[in-house]
């Protein structure tokens, strides 16, 4: 009887081990991300360990393997950051990529399952793309605030947070979510942010003290007390009249506790009747002492008929633009 029971236990343990995923730690994720980026730059999908059902989107549009960035990207640029989340099995790159003579500011996320890359999601900002007020106009500043030179001058911090100063992943996500709650409610006091927090959109600074994302300012924020007064132009100010109804389709696929960084994806939905387009964005939150220090984004403005973000649980059908939602049928006579 004991032998039978022992055999059953061994069989159960082996079955559980076979069913368990082949976990990918931080080193494994970094290797996978580097392999993927190298494969893209060299236009060689076979150089990366891609799953046979691999899926990739670029600005929420599914692209065929070997097309899109597989053809256009020729190198990595002067800003390169990599973030890793072994709990979620995902990794991501933020920075600049070269596309021949041009450049783009991107977020590129991958998922790794059983040592295979199953997903890739790109948010890409390029010169000449549409922006908040519509298409780019000749002789005008970039409509989408595209400014790679400014991003090079003020890059995200490249750091490892000391263990004793790290927040839990749950806390990091809650802090990030407070930013979107503050925007939706038009109340910056809800946001868990340092006074002077900065936000950089497609390379262009949108407020706050420039350079506060790293160096002495960030170090002081981790260990010292924040100033009492909050500048009028930081990441948590000016929300009362902001033309947004809600921050929808929120996702937090990469939480890097060692770096104190959260990658968030969401969609800005405008107030009813507004002609201003929605925009889909990736935002990188750099968090010190349980407060947001800086935010870096790569975002785009999709056409009204395009489904975004086109990833679970919102793939392919959300949010439907009002112009294509059928009206209620007329009552029978």
Q: In this predicted model, what pLDDT tens digit does every residue of 47-92 receive, in sequence order?
A: 999 999 999 999 999 999 999 999 999 999 999 999 999 999 999 9
Strand partners, 112: 117
Give the C-alpha separation, 49 to 257, whole Å: 26
Give the C-alpha separation, 180 to 169, whole Å: 17
Strand partners, 98: 75, 103
Count of CB atoms situated within 10 Å of the CB of 292: 24
Q: Are 57 and 314 in contact (CB under 8 A)?
A: no
- pLDDT band at 23, cuts 50/70/90? confident
> To the nearest whole number, what is the mean pLDDT of the chain?
85
Give the C-alpha separation, 191 to 294, whole Å: 13
Instruction: Find the mean pLDDT for residues 264-271.
Output: 94
pLDDT at 18 over 50: no
pLDDT at 213 over 80: no
What are the backbone dihedrals phi and psi of residue 62, each rounded to the nearest 5 degrees, phi first? -65, 135
Predicted local confidence at residue 1, as pLDDT: 43
- pLDDT band at 249, cuts 50/70/90? very high
């Amino acid at each position: 009887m004991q032998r039978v029971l022992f055999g059953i236990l061994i069989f159960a343990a082996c079955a559980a081990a076979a069913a368990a995923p082949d976990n990918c730690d931080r080193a494994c994720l970094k290797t996978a991300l580097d392999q993927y980026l190298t494969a893209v730059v060299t236009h060689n999908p076979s150089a990366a360990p891609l799953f046979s059902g691999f899926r990739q989107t670029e600005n929420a549009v599914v692209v065929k393997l070997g097309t899109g960035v597989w053809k256009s990207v020729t190198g990595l640029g002067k800003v390169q950051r990599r973030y890793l989340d072994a709990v979620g099995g995902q990794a991501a790159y933020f920075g600049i990529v070269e596309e021949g003579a041009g450049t783009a500011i991107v977020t590129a996320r991958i998922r790794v399952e059983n040592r295979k890359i199953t997903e890739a999601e790109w948010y890409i900002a390029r010169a000449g793309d549409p922006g908040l007020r519509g298409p780019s106009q000749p002789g005008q500043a970039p409509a989408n605030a595209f400014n790679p030179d400014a991003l090079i001058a003020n890059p995200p911090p490249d750091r490892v947070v000391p263990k004793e100063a790290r927040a839990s992943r749950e806390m990091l996500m809650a802090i990030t979510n407070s930013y979107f709650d503050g925007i939706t409610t038009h109340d910056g006091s809800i946001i868990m942010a340092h006074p002077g927090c900065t936000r950089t959109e497609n390379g262009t600074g949108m407020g706050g003290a420039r350079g506060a994302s790293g160096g002495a300012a960030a170090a002081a924020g981790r260990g010292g007390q924040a100033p009492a007064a909050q500048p009028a132009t930081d990441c948590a100010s000016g929300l009362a009249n902001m033309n947004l109804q809600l921050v929808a389709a929120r996702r937090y696929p990469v939480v890097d506790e060692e770096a104190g960084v959260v990658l968030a994806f969401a969609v800005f939905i405008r107030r009813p009747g507004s002609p201003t387009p929605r925009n889909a964005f990736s935002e990188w939150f750099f968090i010190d002492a349980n407060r947001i220090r800086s935010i870096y984004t790569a975002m785009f403005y999709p056409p009204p008929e395009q489904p975004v973000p086109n990833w679970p649980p919102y793939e392919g059908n959300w949010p439907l633009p009002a112009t294509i939602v059928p009206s209620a049928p007329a009552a029978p006579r």
